[in-house]
Chains A and B, each alone.
Chain A
Amino acid sequence: MQKKGMYSVEDILQIQQVSKKYWSKQAVRDISFTLGPGKIIGLLGSNGSGKTTIMKMIAGLAQPTSGKIAVYGNPVGVETKSLISFMPDQPLTESWMTVGDALRFYSDFFADFDQAKAERMLDFMKLSLADKVRSLSKGMSERLQLTLALSRKASLYLLDEPLGGVDPVARTRILNALVEFYEEDSSILISTHLVSDIERIFDEVIMVKNGEMVMHGNVEELRLQHGKSMDELFREVFAEC
């Protein structure tokens, strides 16, 4: 898959004035931002703030009502699906599958799937190939979804609430995996409402409230400017909720 514009420093993700209106609700309102390569970015917002909708639109699961989204210059479509690895809040696996089947599904459809890496990560997450998806606990299922998403060599990783519903030990393990996993030519966008555990691994944060972007900046600079942690800033922004 060619990435357009290799001759210039192309942004991995460009979102221009994107809005999304469902039947009766304005879920996302005029959001614009760009993401460069080699970054880990936090998409911070409370539940229902629109961050999941934004991720779905980037991943191609939903269409913006207006505005444009491009990945390495390519508008969202079949090609961008091979550039993006999405871990949604719903399982990607089907209930008839075993863990091994799930890996096979991924390797069948994604050319950038790294089987060896997946198996290593499964080991790390304490999952076995023969486990039936149906019999996995919520925590184990989340670890499987994360393994699948991270075992691809994608340009943009979208993780929707990877830390939700996961015990603190597993959380540390996941954070470790994310830091180990970082590549200079790809970026990771992580949406979450649990900020304090994870803010140390973010380069930048984008805060979304009621579908609107209220802040986008470099984390260290924000700390310097405000003398506050991202967790505190987050709480301030969402104080009225």
Chain B
Amino acid sequence: MTIEFDNNLPIYIQIMNYIKGEIVTGKLKPGDKIPSVRELASDLQINPNTVQRTFQELERETIVETRRGMGRYVTSEEGRIMTIKKEMAKDVLDRFIRGMRELGFQGEDIVAAVAESVGHEDAEKGDV
């Protein structure tokens, strides 16, 4: 696992987002085992306490659960994962919409711009 860390932001948040991303895109499946604190700290070369905090936060958000004596696992509740996916999408959307508004776009124009952009991408994919 390699993550490009930005030292300007709390690292535990960055790891959380990375793991959530892995879960949401299916690379980490529901019920999959998550590496231990030590393993992750060693892989990423970061402080184990930081990893610990990450896991604590993920547990608080019920994305990850601890099974006594066995380790940490991705939640098997698909519904929860869907919710997380939507939350992460909303973050991206909020940032996008704010950015577009700063450029002067308004409501329907934004929707139209998105439709055009997605249309182009699909067309390109279709050609290839």
Contact = CB atoms under 8 A, between A and B. Distances in A.
Contacts, number: 58
Interface in B58-93: none
Given A179-B41, A182-B41, A203 B7 contact: no
Interface stretch (B47-55, B100-108, B118-126): B47-55
B120 to A, nearest CB: 35
B53 A196 contact: no
Interface stretch (A19-27, A48-56, A223-231): A223-231
Given A200-B7, A227-B8, A231-B7, A220 B53 contact: yes
A200 B9 contact: no
Interface in B1-51: 5-12, 38, 41-42, 44-50
A31 interface: no
Contacts of A172: 45
A223 B45 contact: no
A200 B48 contact: no
B36 to A, nearest CB: 13
Interface string A203-225: 10000000000000000110110
A202 interface: yes
A201 B7 contact: no
Contacts of A119: none
A42 B5 CA distance: 19
A39 interface: yes
A166 interface: no
B47 A200 contact: yes
A200 B42 contact: no
A175 B10 CA distance: 19
Contact of B50 (A175, A220, A232): A220
Contacts of A38: 49
B47 A223 contact: no
A201 B42 contact: no
Interface of A: 38-40, 172, 175-176, 179-180, 182, 196, 199-203, 220-221, 223-224, 227-232
Interface of B: 5-12, 38, 41-42, 44-50, 53
5 contacts: A180-B42, A200-B47, A220-B53, A227-B8, A227-B9
